Amino acid sequence: MQPVKPLIHFWVPYPQKVAPSQRFRVELFLPLLEKEGYRYEMLSFLDQQAWDILYKKGNTLQKAWGTIKGFFRRTGHLFRSKKADFIFLHREAAPIGPPVFEWLLARVFQKKIIHEFDDAIWIPGGEKISFFKKWIKAAWKVKYIIKWSYKVVGGNDFLCNYARKYNPAVIRIPTVVDTERGHFILRDQQQIEKIVIGWTGSHTTLHNLEEIEHIIPELRKEIDFDFLIISNKPPDWKFDFIFKRWEAATEQEDLLRMHIGVMPLKKGAWFEGKCGFKLIQYLACGIPAVASPVGVNAEIVLHQQCGFIANNDTEWKEYLKTLIRDASLRSAMGIKGREHIEKNYSLTSASGLFLELFL
């Protein structure tokens, strides 16, 4: 008789299939767990109703009620998780307040917490925020959650190095894509059509495009191309661009409209914690990328092999022009990028590490 595999409770912020971080760092691995015979439950802080209004203007009372409901839900999860062998905590148990749930899980219920994060979540708000928001967010709790955890998973070395200050059991697992079922079609760079430079990401990261906002219209004076933005909200730009609202059902199809992908990134500790997922998506689809020299960008975009790392405005313009004009270079870099992703940033490459978390 086969031994019963452990029961894993995934404590996640959002409903399934809506948030990129959760989709690719948690949900992507669920079929693997099923195949290996593990049992699991997904337990989200927000319900679908609360998620649907989370990033819409107004609805203050509904948002407050959604958060209150989240705390009631988490209280139920706490007792439900008494039967679980592992608690896989993506980011934090609740978006605000002290780590009460984590403390109860670790110290009272003696649960093995696997704490996973892909941002510098110990930096409150990532940017300058009011004292009240900083206080209610309680980012100070992160180091305690790390201390109480059985294992900690970071998406890059910057995050892992922080975690090791408080817990030696730290594992680096980058964000990955499924190159066999999800990101599996390669961009045909030889098609004769107008070149499209593109960017994808949530509205919370749109501000990074300010780094190249002035470069795009300048470059258009020299060479013709379209600029595509895939997001849940368009930026407030004064020049023409193509906006495509992000949809899970058309994610790969929309990415394949690009010939070149970009990832400008501001400087600072918050940005050092970014895991470069845009770049991973571009390269998985055979789309060469140009990126800022911040954080893991240079690890993902191997300079002059599957794209370019641009250190200043001049390099941004030069590298983009080079890729726009040279279809053969785009093809070669696209193939190299795809190989790089399959080897280092694919579901296949990360599966073993993920399964070892539950030993």
What value does the mean pLDDT take over residues 345-359?
Answer: 98
Q: Which of 140, 173, 206 is the last residue before a domain boundary?
A: 173
What DSSP state is assigned to residue 237? -
330 and 224 belong to one structural domain: yes
Collapsing DSSP to helix, strand or coil, 336 comes out as helix
What value does the mean pLDDT take over residues 253-275?
Answer: 96
What value does the mean pLDDT take over residues 312-321?
Answer: 98
Buried b (16+ CB within 10 A) or exposed e, 17-37: ebbbbbbbbbbbbeebbeeee
**Which residue in 126, 267, 253 sits closest to 198, CA to CA?**
253
Is 327 part of any domain? yes
Count of helix runs (H) and strand runs (E) in the chain:
16, 12
166 and 236 belong to one structural domain: no
200 and 125 belong to one structural domain: no
Is 189 part of any domain? no
36 and 161 belong to one structural domain: yes
Residue 16, pLDDT > 90, answer yes
- Position 236 scores a pLDDT of 87
The whole-angstrom separation of Cα 165 and Cα 211 is 33
Is 182 part of any domain? no
Strands 112-117 and 86-90: parallel
Collapsing DSSP to helix, strand or coil, 303 comes out as strand
Q: Which of 118, 138, 173 is the last residue before a domain boundary?
A: 173
The whole-angstrom separation of Cα 58 and Cα 252 is 32
- Position 178 scores a pLDDT of 97
The whole-angstrom separation of Cα 234 and Cα 213 is 13
The whole-chain average pLDDT of the chain stands at: 95
Is 33 part of any domain? yes
Domain at 127, CATH number? 3.40.50.2000
What value does the mean pLDDT take over residues 81-105?
Answer: 98
Q: How many domains does the chain have?
A: 2
Residue 28, pLDDT > 80, answer yes
Whether 212 and 241 have beta carbons less than 8 Å apart is answered as: no
What DSSP state is assigned to residue 252? H
138 and 99 belong to one structural domain: yes
- Position 1 scores a pLDDT of 63
273 and 312 belong to one structural domain: yes
120 and 206 belong to one structural domain: no
Q: Tens digits of per-residue pLDDT, 127-168?
A: 567 777 888 999 999 999 999 999 999 999 999 999 999 999
- Position 25 scores a pLDDT of 98
Q: Which of 173, 207, 231 is the last residue before a domain boundary?
A: 173
Place of tokens 């004076």: 221
340 and 205 belong to one structural domain: yes
Q: What percent of the chain has pLDDT over 90?
A: 89
- Position 211 scores a pLDDT of 96
Is 351 part of any domain? no
291 and 153 belong to one structural domain: no
CA atoms lying within 13 Å on the CB side of residue 200: 29
Give the residue numbers spanning the domain of 330. 196-344
Is 184 part of any domain? no
30-36, long-range: CB within 8 Å, 24+ apart, which pairs?
A: 32/347, 32/351, 32/354, 32/355, 33/8, 36/5, 36/355
Q: Where are the alpha helices (DSSP H) in the chain?
A: 20-25, 30-35, 48-53, 60-80, 100-103, 131-137, 141-148, 157-163, 215-220, 251-255, 269-272, 277-284, 297-300, 313-325, 327-344, 347-356
The whole-angstrom separation of Cα 311 and Cα 291 is 9
Is 159 part of any domain? yes
Is 78 part of any domain? yes
46 and 138 belong to one structural domain: yes
What value does the mean pLDDT take over residues 186-213?
Answer: 93
Look up residue 185 and give its amino acid.
I
220 and 279 belong to one structural domain: yes
222 and 94 belong to one structural domain: no
